[in-house]
Amino acid sequence: MESNSIHKIDRAIAGERCQMTDATSRIKKLLIAFISLTLIYPLAIGAQDKAPDSKGKSEAAASVHLTIIVTAGEDKQPVDSASVYVRFVEAKVLTRNKKIEMNLKTNLSGVCHVPEIPSGKILIQVIAPGWKTYGEYFEVDQAEQTINISLVRPPKWY
């Protein structure tokens, strides 16, 4: 008789363990779902498309098509085959910002067309043989923008 009651007690304890593991697994699942929603919700809110006439939205273009015209000397002659370096930072939401550098060349007319870049602060450097190296930061915020760069002769070395 004692062994029978011991078996009943063992089964009751085992049943309680099953109920406890079921309860803890439910709690774990609810906790994981809650944490997932808390992490995803801000991303979903930020990804929503804003109305074009919403208040506080700037009129700046998201991307810019840039044209750079390089001339040199007092008579403003176009400089062909000048190396034009365009550096900017591409902003990322979840990861580090990515630094981008483009190496472009001017054509015979001294014109260089830059592909679509994000608006903001950019660095333009121009290197041409026989002319002083040029470098300056620009703020680009219009959909299409033209930048004129004039190179000068380097100082004489004695």
| pLDDT greater than 60 at residue 23 | yes
Residue 54 has a pLDDT of 45
Q: What fold is seen in the domain 63-151?
A: Immunoglobulin-like (2.60.40)
User: Are the beta carbons of 70 and 151 closer than 8 angstroms?
Assistant: yes
CA distances from 141 to 26, 58, 125, 148, 155 (A): 52, 10, 19, 16, 34
Residue 49 has a pLDDT of 52
Q: What is the pLDDT of residues 120-153, one digit of tens each?
A: 899 999 999 989 999 999 999 888 999 999 999 8
Residue 118 sits at φ, ψ, to 5 deg, of: -70, 150
Residue 136 has a pLDDT of 94
Query: Count of CB atoms within 10 A of residue 111's CB?
Result: 14
Q: What is the mean pLDDT of residues 82-88?
A: 93
Q: What is the mean pLDDT of residues 34-53?
A: 65
Q: How do the domains of the chain map onto residue ranges?
A: 1-49, 63-151
Which tokens in the block code for residue 113? 């067309």
| pLDDT greater than 80 at residue 44 | no
pTM exceeding the 0.75 threshold for the entire prediction? no
> What percent of the chain clears pLDDT 90, i.e. is strictly above it?
35
